[in-house]
């Protein structure tokens, strides 16, 4: 597969209503926040997990769209299998791979696994297959306004054991959520790194498709209603890019409409895109 020929930068908006978009294990799974200004945060790892899950389901785990980092997988076994498929006589850490074997196994892993050639991976934890720096990188997502994390009590009428049947109280539990949050994420796609991993135009099309559909595959009561709202892409004609990414991102501004005091839906915001005097050889594409 031929790798992409130009750099891409993109802005991705998604929202969450009456749910927990990304719980923090260090805070009893409460929604992640910036403690200084109480804006909500969603980690890049959270979004990458959703992308991996969608690609896996959409392509049945078949090469070249298999997923390396998946639930229940044993990473070292996948790395060793790549060596074995190439005819290398290796067995975990029992025999070190040669430099040429590492190079070949690295290429095999990039070809087989979508997430390796997209996000990169450290594959030197068992039989060595090197390391890959992925061309697609995501920032932390940050909410446009401060969010209100809520800890809500819930009850269950059923009991766990028969001895609890006569207990006067119902079983109590907790749910963490926010009433509403609109999040902004910045993405970067390096054509230079894509040449190294083989990230192709087909891979890129699959990424755009995934960003627009992955929340429908990830429904749960704890996450409330999450949905993609905007995907705005800056396409560069050159490998290294034709304008600084942060200057392009400044062209996209979001304001809360008047007289809305507390946003509760995407229509409470207005997204403005400055299309005037775009840098030469940069194309703005509004995909969503």
CA distance 226 to 219: 8
Nearest to 187 by CA among 143, 242, 133, 248: 248
Reported as a single tens digit per residue, the pLDDT across 142-161 is 999 999 999 888 887 777 77
What is the pLDDT, as a whole number, of residue 52? 97
Domain ranges of the chain: 8-286
What is the C-alpha to C-alpha distance for residues 194 and 189, in angstroms, rounded to an integer?
Answer: 8
**Banded pLDDT at 168 (limits 50, 70, 90):** low
pLDDT in the model for residue 91? 65
Q: What percent of the chain has pLDDT over 90?
A: 80
Higher pLDDT, 43 or 97: 43
Q: What is the mean pLDDT of the chain?
A: 92
Q: How far apart are CA 170 and CA 164, in angstroms?
A: 10
Give the model's pLDDT for residue 93: 59
Class of residue 76 by CB neighbours under 10 A (exposed 0-12, middle 13-18, buried 19+): middle
Report whether pLDDT(48) > 80: yes
CA separation (Å) from 11 to 18, 64, 66, 101, 159?
24, 27, 26, 39, 47
d(CA 226, CA 118): 24
Instruction: Write the burial class of residue 155 (CB in 10 Å: 0-12 exposed, 13-18 middle, 19+ buried).
Output: exposed
pLDDT at position 1: 64
CA 210 – CA 65 distance, rounded (Å): 13
The mean per-residue pLDDT over the stretch 222-228 comes to: 95
What does the alpha-carbon distance between residue 62 and residue 76 come to, in Å, rounded to a whole number? 19
Q: What confidence tens digit (pLDDT) does each residue in 178-201 have?
A: 999 999 999 999 999 999 999 999
Longest Cα pair distance anywhere in the chain, in angstroms?
75
Where does the pLDDT of residue 213 fall: very low under 50, low under 70, confident under 90, or very high at 90 and above? very high
Residues 6 or more apart from 43 whose CB is under 8 A from it? Answer: 22, 32, 140, 141
Contact yes or no for 285/230 (Cβ under 8 A): no
Q: Is the pTM of this model over 0.85?
A: yes
Q: What is the pLDDT of residue 163?
A: 75
Q: Is 267 exposed, middle or buried (0-12, 13-18, 19+ CB in 10 A)?
A: exposed
- What DSSP state is assigned to residue 32? P
Using 50, 70 and 90 to split pLDDT, how confident is the model at 241?
A: very high
pLDDT digits (tens, 9 = 90+) for 70-122: 988 899 999 999 999 998 887 655 467 788 999 999 999 999 999 999 999 99
């Amino acid at each position: 597969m031929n790798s992409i020929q130009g750099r891409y930068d993109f802005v991705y908006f998604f929202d969450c209503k009456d749910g927990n978009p990304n719980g923090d294990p260090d805070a009893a799974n409460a929604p992640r926040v910036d403690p200084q200004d109480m804006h909500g945060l969603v980690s890049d790892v959270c979004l990458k997990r959703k992308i991996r899950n969608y690609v896996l389901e959409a392509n049945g785990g078949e090469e070249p769209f298999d997923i390396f980092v998946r639930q229940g997988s044993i990473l070292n076994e996948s790395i060793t299998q790549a060596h074995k498929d190439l005819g290398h006589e290796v067995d975990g850490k029992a025999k070190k791979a040669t430099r040429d074997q590492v190079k070949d196994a690295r290429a095999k892993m990039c070809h087989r696994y979508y997430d390796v050639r997209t996000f990169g991976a450290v594959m030197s934890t068992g039989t060595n297959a090197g390391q890959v720096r992925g061309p697609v990188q995501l920032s932390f997502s940050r909410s446009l306004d401060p969010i209100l994390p809520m800890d809500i009590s819930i009850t269950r009428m059923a009991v766990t054991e028969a001895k609890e049947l006569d207990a006067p109280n119902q079983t109590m539990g907790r749910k963490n959520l926010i009433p509403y949050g609109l999040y902004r994420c910045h993405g970067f796609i390096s054509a230079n790194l894509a040449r190294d991993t083989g990230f192709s135009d087909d891979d890129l099309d699959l990424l755009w498709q995934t960003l627009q559909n992955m929340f429908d595959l990830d429904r749960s009561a704890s996450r409330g209603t999450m949905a993609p709202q905007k995907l705005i892409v800056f396409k560069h004609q050159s490998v290294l890019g034709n304008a600084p990414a942060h200057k392009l991102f400044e062209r996209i501004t979001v304001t809360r409409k008047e007289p809305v005091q507390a946003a509760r839906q995407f229509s409470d915001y207005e997204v403005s895109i400055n299309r005037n005097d775009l840098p030469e050889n940069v194309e703005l594409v509004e995909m969503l």
